[in-house]
């Protein structure tokens, strides 16, 4: 009976472990994305500043600045969409974990209760 309770406890922790793995994978993906984007933005910014310094025509500088801001905006929107998709996928996976684990826990609890009832029935018959 003790073993049944221990098995039930271990089985109950499996969804939590899956959820922790899911969250860890999401965090790693988001941190890697942030690091990659930050490095790319820094490189692009330095290249843009260098190009601006080398340009003498004010109209060309304004045009370059407008193009840079447009490209930067596109990059930030793309990064936000990618991060949002990653978060959405992780939330969806978490929902699946919860749904599956709830059914598993209910089934295990039912089995355990049935075993306990059998043991109690046997013990009651022996005592009588």
Residue 14 maps to a domain: no
Which DSSP letter does residue 57 get?
Answer: -
Rounded to two decimals, the pTM is 0.66
Residue 31 maps to a domain: yes
Residue 1 maps to a domain: no
**Distance between start and end Cα atoms, the chain:** 22
**Which tens digit of pLDDT belongs to each residue from 18-68?**
889 999 999 999 999 999 999 999 999 999 999 999 999 999 999 999 999
Cα–Cα distances in angstroms (integers) from residue 38 to residues 11, 25, 45, 68, 94, in the given order: 41, 20, 10, 16, 28
Residue 64 maps to a domain: yes
Q: In what helix (H) or strand (E) does residue 55 lie, and over which residues does it extend? A: none
Residue 4 maps to a domain: no
Bigger pLDDT: 79 vs 124 = 79
**Which tens digit of pLDDT belongs to each residue from 70-93?**
999 999 999 999 999 999 999 999
Residue 80 maps to a domain: yes
Residue 81 maps to a domain: yes
Domain span at 68: 19-100
Number of domains in the chain: 1
Residue 23 maps to a domain: yes
């Amino acid at each position: 009976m003790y073993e049944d309770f221990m098995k039930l406890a271990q089985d109950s922790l499996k969804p939590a472990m899956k959820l922790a793995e899911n969250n860890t994978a999401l965090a790693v993906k988001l941190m890697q994305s942030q690091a990659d984007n930050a490095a790319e933005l820094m490189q692009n910014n330095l290249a843009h500043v260098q190009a601006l310094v080398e340009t003498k025509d004010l109209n060309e500088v304004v045009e370059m600045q407008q193009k840079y801001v447009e490209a930067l905006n596109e990059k930030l929107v793309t990064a936000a969409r990618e991060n949002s998709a990653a978060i959405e996928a992780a939330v969806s996976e978490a929902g699946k974990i919860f749904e599956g684990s709830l059914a598993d826990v209910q089934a295990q609890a039912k089995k355990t209760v049935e075993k306990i009832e059998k043991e109690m029935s046997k013990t009651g018959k022996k005592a009588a």
